[in-house]
Structure 1
Amino acid sequence: MMSLAQVTRLILFVLLQAGSLSYAERPNIVVILADDLGYSDLGCYGGEISTPNIDALANAGVRMTQVYNSARCCPSRASLMTGLYPTQAGIGDFTTSQPSPDRGPGYQGRLRDDCATIAEVLKPAGYNCYYVGKWHMHHETGPIKRGFDEFYGYTFDHSHDQYDAEYYERLPADRVKEIDASADDFYATDVFNDYAIEFIKQGQKSEKPWLLFLGHSSPHFPVQAPAERADKYDEVYRRGWDILREERFERMQKLGLVDGDHWKLSPRSIVPVDKSAIANGFSGEPNPAWDSLEEDRQLDLARRMAIFAAMVEGVDNGVGQLVSHLKSTGDLDNTLILFLSDNGACYEWGPFGFDGQSRRGETTLRTGDKIREIGQRGTHQSYGSVWANLGNTPFRLYKHFTHEGGISTPFIAHWPKGIGKPNKWVRDPAHLMDILPTLIDAAEATYPQELKGNRITPLEGKSLLPAFMGESLPDRTIGFDHQAAHAIRQGDWKAVYAKRMPHELKWELYNLAEDRCEMNDLAEKDPERVKKMTADWDAWARRVGVIWKPQDNVRSLKTDSPQIANRMLRLEQTVESQSPNGVALAHGGNQHGYALHFINGKPAFDIRINGKVKRLLAEDPVSGTITLTATLSTDTMTLSVDGGDSISQPSHGLIPVQPIDDLSIGLDERTSAGDYKSPNPFNGVVLRHALHATNPEQQR
């Protein structure tokens, strides 16, 4: 016998297929995206910040516990907007005005022509489409160019001063700003909320269904909010992050989010390895205990977090205004509202944050009356890595990383007419790329095969409507990559690779059904599973363009990776190029490895140990058919060209561990083994290569 949810879904499906749903019957859609909001910052996810309006949506809808993002603002936005992985949408790591063709089409730094946005899919289905706030998918592929009818916000950069009224623009360019916010009173979060209501009103007048995408820049740094809004939080945060993390975890248990003993509150996270000034002197060390800090530092940091909380409350106030308007106009019940965050809370840079536009580690300590200047006009501050660790309670790490603290997002769905008012937790794994398929499912839309003369990449995401209505989602593989942080999720299992940590970097393995907070690494106990999952990650990465081989100008040779840990090396390679550039051979990555490559025609041999590179560089450029021979011993590294005299220098010793990244021929497929930016493909042909790794004991 079918459940009520299944019957409802079947009826909806039949109506959609028959094309019998009228404009009035199809839902209006609101997608609200917060920026750098942590997993537990909302009240309905355990936080102490006042978010009654968002909480009310959660209590009358569904909350998901395992929705993933892509670890950073713009890749996540690209994935959400297109239903694809970030590389398939063209923004594999960040937007850029100078994309590198060597990295392939996944790293254009802007939306690709072979993807379709939410607006480009819903407009042909009769929807008016509006966008408010932060775009961050490159201004040359801006919201109007990619299908939205109206826009207010900003299309350049990842963040901006909340008080700078002139910076924010109304598009199309011939539009006159409807909201009259004077420069003295302007605060971007409030104006975004006002424009959300303005565009909803425009949609309601059209008598068509409408989509509003509200992409807040809050609470991304610079943390800024009117001082009086933050005052009520001062005493809350002067209690410190250690107490507040424990209290959040307790509330998460009471709310039913934490369901059983497979959740454990993780210790304070490590501060990522970086320059001492940027890491506030804590590079590679655990974040400090609150009680270890002097009172002046505590007061400064408490105010930063109070400003952050006021920003979140500003987002919540806008949700309240939006819901109130929909109620008063009779549209709330048939409006699908989704609320989520784009990545985990942001650690930049160390426990004390930064203070200044350059973000190079300035940690101005404000005392006395100057504390109240934090977050005001013209300031540019972050709140630091330990408050971010609070935001991601109970998980490890932060934005930029693919551990749970970096890629887990709060996710709320509210649609009384479509899914009822279930007030329940949904525990199926999902991803931001599932949002577009969900909207297609709800809105009687059709995903295009072609758009503006371009073949469109098939959807990667899956509709979440079945999960909203009580059905289980099928198991699938979900891959992750962000600037040398990798992960793959298969069922309950997750393999994850970190970056910028003080310990040896390697693939870790977790059973999330037993260990959601990634406290018990099972990699050594189950090496075969690690081997299979990392091979699956590699296959996924090649399929979606994380790893890209420019086949038109490089012919590479397949080979196995030799065991090189604590071995002497001899490399021989013959290549052909009239003006050689790029990587001819690379093995390893940004911690340990070696590479033979060319710089403006000059042969180079790089050895990387513990992240540091030593290089031999030939004096003269070469061309034609070239044979390189390079060696590494316990005390010397050498390089010779075409059998000539070797150049040499002292080495740092042998490479101490087997690299994670495999051997690449003709380019560096993963993180950079040498001092260059991967993949840095070779512009010629590799004719032959030979590698010999010898135990030093055998030479005695």
Structure 2
Amino acid sequence: MILTLLLVSCATAALPAAEAKRPNILIILADDLGYSDLGCYGGEIPTPNIDALAKRGVRFTQVYNSARCCPSRAALMTGLYPTQAGIGDFTTAQPNPSRGPGYLGRLRDDCVTLAEVLKPAGYGCYYVGKWHLHNQTGPIRRGFDEFYGYTFDHSHDQYDADYYERLPAGRQKEINPPKDEFYATDVFNDYALEFIRQGQQSDKPWFLFLGHSSPHFPIQAPTERVDKYEATYQRGWDVLREERFERMKEIGLIDGDRWQLTPRSIVPVDRDDIANGYSGKENPAWDALPADRRGDLARRMAVFAAMVEGVDVGVGRIVNHLEATGDLDNTLIIFLTDNGACYEWGPFGFDGVSRVGTNTLRTGEELREIGQRGTHQAYGSGWANLGNTPFRLYKHFTHEGGISMPLIAHWPAGIGTPDVWVRQPGHMMDILPTLMEASGATYPTTFDNRAITPLEGTSLLPAMRGEALPQRQIGFDHQAAHALRDGDWKIVWSKRMPHKIEWELYNLAEDRCETNDLAAQEPERLKSMVAAWEAWAWRVGVHYDPAKAALSGDFSHVDRNFPIAKRSWTIEAEVDAKSPSGVVAAQGGNRHGYALHFVDGKPAFDVRVGGIVTRLISKQRYSGQVHLRAGLDKKVMMLQINDEPPFKIASPGLIPAQPFDELSLGHDVLTAAGDYEAPNPLQGSLRSFAIKHATP
């Protein structure tokens, strides 16, 4: 009898989660929270409630997002790479079809969401907060039963009560504080509890997605919450970065001496009115700034900290409710963030909805206006560099500072209370398969009679239980920033930097903070990994070239971020077409750049400076094999066709800044560098292309 009981007991313990009582599921997503902002990741911001979850669960050290808010949400929501889900860079009301289905700017029809997977498994599905996966593919349409929040924008005023909506249409708001008391983070927390209660009153397990907009700009928080943080941030980002780094060692996040605190990060190259005069320069030393500027900046960071506090208080209220109602132990809670801390735009941040050319320095009593009603401010790249301690760069970039995030999992009934660091790499797209394994839900091959893209992610549940995850490559791309992680090795391609941009190679096991580029020492490994990234990019739809059939040559050698700012250069191309039209090559966009293209068979060379296009165009149409040569220097811009005498006109001036849009061949991939409508694909065959620094 005793043996039988032991066997039954062991068999019960061995049951997979799907055969045990299915857990409730709570995903909490913070917005623009840096890698080290939480107390349990080394930050000085008090987050006792989130820290308590970490103390009874697991913390991951190298789980990645997709570098920016909506691509990360697309990966999290679907278990796919962002392009496979349709949001390769950003949501948009006017998608560019020739960029391919990876850039629809909304969720694709051939993917399924967390709710569309969990609802057929018997879950009630609830959503609170920021959606940002396009309102045409809103939460109710994509499987959620109840919603409160906003469905389109990347951010909104926390005090604007009328903006936030309750769905499905016709639902009355259960929570509707007076407008002068409304603060979105608090109301999101209230609605999280409201929907949990609704789920508990049903006969189903429940799934709640709490997508906070905090601490994304506009940084806003009630004054009384902000005041207590101001003295902390008067000490400055340099001291606080060093202190965070030491705490990361003390709590065991940093193991050994393989992490190094990086120098202050570079402010990305941009117009000086955007970059606060620090374009392409290192963030300034705190002590080098005037006292008034330090005061303004300290108040901004204090507002940011108060926003994080608001998220943490909500976590505490939810946990207390779950504990009081007996649901805490069998609720899988996952806390994570959507990208690295946000640098926009320079070290002083911005003021105003336009975000361009506006930075108001506040002093004295004016400091208390920061973050209050009617304001729209950011905290700047210096504080973002603190948020991403100890890594390089920020949101928008694929260095570790842009894509590394905290991830905490708490589920006593499913993983125990181990209080451990998990050091295996993962990605946001792994959340869906994790929830599937925990709940017993299955991933469909078809949905609403549509074929569904196979799942990309892998469950993190084994890692939470101390087991190994399968070896794999993880790819990254966001608006010309690229990366590939393969085991301990990573390649990364940056953007908007003052130095020459090329592939970098790092051994993250020895150099997690990317301080020792091994590209020159490991050329074969670099070449192999670059080829793997290219293959990945084609497979998942990062590369979708309507002119690919026209690219008949080998263009792997072409530097897509060739430095053209303040330099003289020439380009050459060989085209073969019966009646050519469209873009041969374009670099840059609607501010600065150039385009070599055909207009009804006539070769044309456009140079755009400050948004204004200067054009050289042939009077004659060409067909067959056409050799084109064009160039720009301070005095002339030139276009030569075959061996004929070149056309020359006065130069509009050198390109004043390195364009954001990288070089594209056979079409113009982002905004139009020339006077045409992008992408304007080439009708013909591009056989060769070269660009070099030279006087035309």
- TM-score, normalised to structure 2's length? 0.90
- Tell me, what secondary structure is at the counterpart of 1:629? strand
How many angstroms does 1:207 deviate by? 1.8
How many angstroms does 1:649 deviate by? 4.1
How many angstroms does 1:108 deviate by? 0.5
Return the match for 1:11 from 4, 10, 14: 14
1:618 is the counterpart of 2:601? no
Deviations 1:612-650 (A, max 9, x none): 999653165858768453255999764356887642247
Q: Residues 616 and 639 of structure 1 are in contact (CA less than 8 Å); yes or no, is this contact kept in structure 2?
A: no
Q: Residues 605 and 630 of structure 1 are in contact (CA less than 8 Å); yes or no, is this contact kept in structure 2?
A: no
Return the match for 2:332 from 333, 336, 341: 336
Q: Residues 616 and 638 of structure 2 are in contact (CA less than 8 Å); yes or no, is this contact kept in structure 1?
A: no
Question: 2: distance between equivalents of 1:511 and 1:77?
Answer: 28
- Tell me, what secondary structure is at the counterpart of 1:12? coil
The 5 A counterparts of 1:551-562 are: 555-560=550-555
Return the match for 1:144 from 140, 145, 160: 140
1:47 is the counterpart of 2:43? yes
Instruction: Name the Cα RMSD after superposition.
Output: 3.4
Return closer, same or farther for 1:561/1:193 CA change in 2, 3 Å cut-off.
closer
Q: Residues 221 and 380 of structure 1 are in contact (CA less than 8 Å); yes or no, is this contact kept in structure 2?
A: yes
Question: 2: distance between equivalents of 1:645 and 1:555?
Answer: 27
Return the match for 2:535 from 509, 532, 539: 539
- Tell me, what secondary structure is at the counterpart of 1:184? helix
Return the match for 1:227 from 201, 223, 226: 223
Partner AA of 1:46 in structure 2: G
- Tell me, what secondary structure is at the counterpart of 1:475? coil
How many angstroms does 1:343 deviate by? 0.3
Question: 1: distance between equivalents of 2:360 and 2:683?
Answer: 51
Return the match for 1:174 from 153, 170, 176: 170
Range that drifts further, 588-597 or 182-191: 588-597
Deviations 1:591-613 (A, max 9, x none): 9998632357653236899x999
- Tell me, what secondary structure is at the counterpart of 1:258? coil
Consecutive unaligned residues in structure 1, runs of 5 or more: 1-6
Return the match for 1:78 from 70, 74, 84: 74
Return closer, same or farther for 1:561/1:545 CA change in 2, 3 Å cut-off.
closer
Return closer, same or farther for 1:536/1:608 CA change in 2, 3 Å cut-off.
farther
Return closer, same or farther for 1:510/1:107 CA change in 2, 3 Å cut-off.
same
Return closer, same or farther for 1:621/1:258 CA change in 2, 3 Å cut-off.
farther
- Tell me, what secondary structure is at the counterpart of 2:432? helix
Question: 2: distance between equivalents of 1:636 and 1:221?
Answer: 44
1:431 is the counterpart of 2:434? no
Query: For residue 357 of structure 1, what is the aligned residue in structure 2?
Result: 353
Question: 2: distance between equivalents of 1:287 and 1:105?
Answer: 38
Partner AA of 1:574 in structure 2: D
Query: For residue 683 of structure 2, what is the aligned residue in structure 1?
Result: 684
Q: Residues 51 and 313 of structure 1 are in contact (CA less than 8 Å); yes or no, is this contact kept in structure 2?
A: yes
Query: For residue 666 of structure 2, what is the aligned residue in structure 1?
Result: 666
Question: 2: distance between equivalents of 1:460 and 1:613?
Answer: 43
- Tell me, what secondary structure is at the counterpart of 1:193? helix
Deviations 1:303-360 (A, max 9, x none): 1000000000000000000000000100000000000000000001111100111100
Question: 2: distance between equivalents of 1:696 and 1:351?
Answer: 35
- Tell me, what secondary structure is at the counterpart of 1:349? coil
Partner AA of 2:169 in structure 1: A
Partner AA of 1:648 in structure 2: K
Return closer, same or farther for 1:480/1:612 CA change in 2, 3 Å cut-off.
farther
Deviations 1:250-269 (A, max 9, x none): 11000000111110011111
Question: 2: distance between equivalents of 1:636 and 1:571?
Answer: 20
Deviations 1:472-506 (A, max 9, x none): 11221000001111111111111101111111111
Partner AA of 2:333 in structure 1: I
How many angstroms does 1:666 deviate by? 3.3
How many angstroms does 1:654 deviate by? 13
Q: Residues 354 and 381 of structure 1 are in contact (CA less than 8 Å); yes or no, is this contact kept in structure 2?
A: yes
Deviations 1:176-220 (A, max 9, x none): 000131101100000000000000000001121010000000000
Q: Residues 558 and 665 of structure 1 are in contact (CA less than 8 Å); yes or no, is this contact kept in structure 2?
A: no
The 5 A counterparts of 1:115-514 are: 115-514=111-510
How many angstroms does 1:435 deviate by? 0.2
Question: 2: distance between equivalents of 1:390 and 1:692?
Answer: 41
- Tell me, what secondary structure is at the counterpart of 1:87? helix
Question: 2: distance between equivalents of 1:642 and 1:249?
Answer: 60
Query: For residue 96 of structure 2, what is the aligned residue in structure 1?
Result: 100
Deviations 1:554-609 (A, max 9, x none): 544243567899997653423234xx643235699999998632357653236899
Return closer, same or farther for 1:645/1:307 CA change in 2, 3 Å cut-off.
same
Range that drifts further, 362-371 or 590-599: 590-599
Question: 1: distance between equivalents of 2:240 and 2:62?
Answer: 23
Return closer, same or farther for 1:677/1:304 CA change in 2, 3 Å cut-off.
farther
Query: For residue 629 of structure 1, what is the aligned residue in structure 2?
Result: 628
Return closer, same or farther for 1:562/1:222 CA change in 2, 3 Å cut-off.
closer
Query: For residue 647 of structure 1, what is the aligned residue in structure 2?
Result: 647
How many angstroms does 1:89 deviate by? 0.4
Number of residue pairs the alignment of both structures matches: 675
- Tell me, what secondary structure is at the counterpart of 1:574? strand
- TM-score, normalised to structure 1's length? 0.89
Return closer, same or farther for 1:490/1:48 CA change in 2, 3 Å cut-off.
same
- Tell me, what secondary structure is at the counterpart of 2:476? strand
Return closer, same or farther for 1:663/1:221 CA change in 2, 3 Å cut-off.
closer
- Tell me, what secondary structure is at the counterpart of 1:137? coil
Return closer, same or farther for 1:136/1:690 CA change in 2, 3 Å cut-off.
closer
Question: 1: distance between equivalents of 2:694 and 2:377?
Answer: 52
Question: 1: distance between equivalents of 2:312 and 2:395?
Answer: 22
Query: For residue 4 of structure 1, what is the aligned residue in structure 2?
Result: none
Partner AA of 1:356 in structure 2: G
Percent identity of equivalent pairs: 66
Return closer, same or farther for 1:607/1:356 CA change in 2, 3 Å cut-off.
closer
Q: Residues 585 and 663 of structure 1 are in contact (CA less than 8 Å); yes or no, is this contact kept in structure 2?
A: yes
Question: 2: distance between equivalents of 1:527 and 1:425?
Answer: 33
Question: 2: distance between equivalents of 1:242 and 1:159?
Answer: 29
Partner AA of 2:231 in structure 1: E
Query: For residue 3 of structure 1, what is the aligned residue in structure 2?
Result: none
Question: 2: distance between equivalents of 1:164 and 1:633?
Answer: 50
Return closer, same or farther for 1:516/1:9 CA change in 2, 3 Å cut-off.
farther
- Tell me, what secondary structure is at the counterpart of 2:308? helix
Return closer, same or farther for 1:633/1:80 CA change in 2, 3 Å cut-off.
closer
Question: 1: distance between equivalents of 2:11 and 2:532?
Answer: 37
Question: 1: distance between equivalents of 2:589 and 2:313?
Answer: 46
